[in-house]
Structures are given as C-alpha cells and as structure tokens.
C-alpha cells in the first residue's frame, strides 16, 4: 500500500507514493543551526533567501535561529511569505510597472519591505505610489559587481542614484546590494575568495563614498551559499542572502566538496518502474519533477547508481554492484541537481523525521513568478 496526502502523517516513508519531494527534518534543522551558529558571532548577519524553499514555515525556523529577515526573488513570493506571517522582507530584484508597484506599496502596509532599484525613473514611480498609498518602502541601490545582470555601476553612478533615492518621499534609502552570483561556483576555494574580494571592493568603496556625502548606509547586502563565509568577513558588508544551504543540492555539494558543513536535506522520492536490462533501471521522476540545469539528480543512500538522463516522466539509470538488486517497486532517494527550481515544480513537501512522516507542508510560494 502506498499513500500520499495528509493521511500519510505518522506513517513510514516507504508507504509514501512517488514521485514526492521529501524533507529530512533533522538534516534541515541541522543546516539551519549550523548557518545560524556561523553568523552568531560575526558583524554580518544572515537574511536567507526564500526562493530556495518558498515556505513561510521554513522561513520562521530561520528567523527563530537568528536570521535578521528574509530575502525573496519575486513580489509574489513576498506576498506568500507575508500571508504566512513573515514581517521583514527584502525583495532582491527590481519591481517595475504600475501593476506590480501598486501591489508592492500596498504590501508595505503589512510588512517592513525593502526592494532593489537601479533606475531613477523606477524609484520615482515607487515613491509616487508609496505616497499615494500612505506607505514607506525601503530601497537598496543595486550595484553591478561583475555579474553584468542588473545594477548601476559602482562609484559615482551609484552615489548619484543613492542621493536621488534618499530625497524621494515615501522611500527610505536603506543601503546597497551587490550579488556575486557569477562567482559562487568557482571550484577552487582560494581563487573564489580572491575573486569575491576583488568584486566586492568597489561596492564597499561606494558605501564609503555615499557615507562621505552625508547619507547613512544601513545595509550592504548580497552573497550566496557558495560565498557566505567570504562576503561575511569583508568589512562594511552587513547581510548575506544565502539560500540553498537549507537543503543543499548536488551542484553545491560538488562545488563545496566533502568538507561542506551542510548536508542533503531535500530528496526526490522515486520508485523503480522498469528493469529492462541488467545494467539499466528506470525510475518515475523526470523533467516534470526535477530540473537539470545544474546537473542531473544523484542517487543517495545506495551505491552503484549513475543517473544517465531525464525525460518527461522517467529517469534512466545505469546500475552496477549492489544496485543491480533493484526491482520494480523498490524506492530510492535522489538529491536534486538544483533545489531552487526543483522545489518550484512541486505542490508540497513530505516532511520526514526518523523515517516517519511528520507533516505535509505546502510549497506556499510555488509559481509566484509575478
């Protein structure tokens, strides 16, 4: 018998139908505690990114462990988290256009929101809408630190935009954002640290220039799971937006190597549906349940399994050694290649502790792409 839904609470994981997205609650809580302990004695603080888990329940756990607030990628994610009781949120992207800006300034009545800007006209539009709505929005000027995505250039362009933002009603100039996402996967640790420090130097100098102009900079924010222990040690850097650490995916584990402090806490639970050849097995996860852009999901807890490919509803596996004993109906766990986009394919988490289902949680911000 296999089960899926609220009726599975209190039952063994083996009885959960597949495919399913499974959280190892003990491992997740250890990851949260390890990251919290790292930041507890440091000047920089943690503002974890909810684009990974999309869950107010998990965000509350991170806040209870010491995080100063939560980061979101999209306004829709922020709305879902506010609905779940989260009150301090940075939307680390630009909110553009009258429809989204109207939502933003109304949401700011119910939570302490911050948003990134890199364009004066956009800042003016948020200002006008905030004044009309009777709300205040905190603003971080985003600075390009080499990723060449969003962000005004460091130095004089960023200083000028910060001065203009600070003068606009309905806005509170909060500080600067610089995301070194192009460096989080540099495989050599020493090279990664060198390049991160080089990338962040103009951002920190920009902070000094703004402060020299008489404008307080409360926060410089950025960073990720691959660089949290670098950016957090840079003088003048205040908040780190790491997210993937809470679950830890196969790609980050490959980048970090065996010495990573974080363990896999999120799994794709899959059933073997076919054994068409001695060295081949097929499972029931696929592109509709796992994303491949950072690599294929990897089998966990069983040796001799190599993931070959994903199609819409199937994962093709090469099996050897002990894995040749797999038979149709057997279940195995996979660590996603990329947790953030894999989570967005699922409606809910099956939360397991000690092999027993403890809860079923909605992925509350799933699909909140607007």
Which domains, from first to last, does the chain contain? 6-22+260-362 (2.40.37.20), 25-255 (3.20.20.10)
- Provide, rounded to the nearest whole percent, the portion of the chain with pLDDT above 90: 95
CA–CA gap between residue 278 and residue 311 (Å, rounded): 21
**Rg for the chain (alpha carbons), in Å?**
22
- Provide, rounded to the nearest whole percent, the portion of the chain with pLDDT above 70: 99
| pLDDT tens sequence across 128-145 | 999 999 999 999 999 999
CA–CA gap between residue 24 and residue 2 (Å, rounded): 19
CA–CA gap between residue 29 and residue 201 (Å, rounded): 34
Contacts of 37 (CB under 8 A, 6+ apart): none
pLDDT of residue 1: 41
On whether the pTM is more than 0.85, the answer is: yes
pLDDT of residue 3: 56
Q: Please, what is the average pLDDT of the chain?
A: 96
pLDDT of residue 259: 76
pLDDT at residue 5 tops 90 = no
CA–CA gap between residue 339 and residue 201 (Å, rounded): 30
| pLDDT tens sequence across 25-45 | 999 999 999 999 999 989 999
| pLDDT tens sequence across 228-245 | 999 999 999 999 999 999
pLDDT of residue 4: 61
Q: Which two tokens stand for residue 338?
A: 């990329």
CA–CA gap between residue 262 and residue 264 (Å, rounded): 7
Average pLDDT (57-85) is 98
DSSP annotation string for 137-194: EEEEEEB-SSS-SS-BPTTHHHHHHHHHHHTSTTEEEEEEEE--TTTTT-SSHHHHHH
pLDDT at residue 91 tops 60 = yes
Integer CA distances (angstroms), 331 to 1, 157, 355, in order = 13, 56, 13
CA–CA gap between residue 11 and residue 370 (Å, rounded): 37
- Residues 52, 62 contacting (CB under 8 angstroms): no
Q: Which residue has the higher pLDDT, 349 or 1?
A: 349
- Residues 334, 266 contacting (CB under 8 angstroms): no
């Amino acid at each position: 018998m296999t089960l899926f839904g609220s009726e599975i609470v209190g039952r063994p994981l083996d009885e959960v139908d597949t495919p399913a997205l499974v959280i190892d609650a003990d491992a997740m809580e250890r990851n949260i505690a390890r990251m919290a302990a790292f930041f507890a004695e440091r000047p920089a603080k943690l503002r974890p990114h909810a684009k990974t888990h999309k869950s107010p329940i998990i965000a509350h756990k991170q806040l209870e462990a010491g995080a100063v607030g939560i980061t979101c990628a999209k306004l829709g994610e922020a709305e879902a988290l506010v609905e779940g009781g989260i009150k301090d949120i940075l939307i680390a992207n630009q909110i553009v256009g009258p429809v989204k800006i109207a939502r933003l300034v109304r949401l700011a009545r119910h939570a302490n929101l911050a948003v990134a800007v890199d364009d004066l006209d956009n800042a003016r539009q948020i200002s006008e809408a905030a004044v009309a709505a009777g709300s205040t929005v905190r603003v971080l000027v985003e600075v390009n630190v080499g990723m060449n995505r969003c962000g005004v250039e460091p130095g004089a362009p960023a200083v000028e935009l910060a001065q203009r933002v600070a003068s606009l009603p309905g806005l509170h100039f909060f500080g600067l954002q610089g995301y070194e996402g192009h460096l989080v996967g540099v495989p050599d640790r020493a090279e990664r640290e060198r390049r991160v420090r080089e990338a962040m130097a103009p951002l920190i100098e920009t902070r000094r220039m703004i402060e020299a102009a008489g404008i307080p900079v409360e926060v410089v924010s950025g960073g990720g799971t691959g660089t949290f222990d670098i950016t957090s040690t840079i003088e003048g850097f205040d908040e780190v937006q790491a997210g993937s650490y809470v679950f830890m995916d196969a790609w980050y584990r490959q980048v970090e190597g065996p010495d990573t402090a974080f363990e896999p806490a999120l799994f794709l639970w899959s059933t073997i549906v076919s054994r068409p050849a001695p060295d081949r097995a097929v499972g029931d996860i696929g592109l509709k349940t796992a994303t491949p852009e950072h690599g294929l999901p990897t089998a966990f807890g069983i040796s001799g399994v190599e993931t070959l490919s994903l199609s819409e509803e199937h994962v093709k596996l090469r099996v050897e050694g002990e894995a040749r004993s797999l038979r149709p109906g057997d279940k195995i766990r996979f660590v996603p290649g990329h947790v953030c986009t894999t989570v967005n394919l699922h409606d809910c988490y099956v939360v397991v502790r000690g092999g027993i289902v403890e809860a079923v949680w909605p992925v509350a911000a799933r699909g909140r792409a607007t």
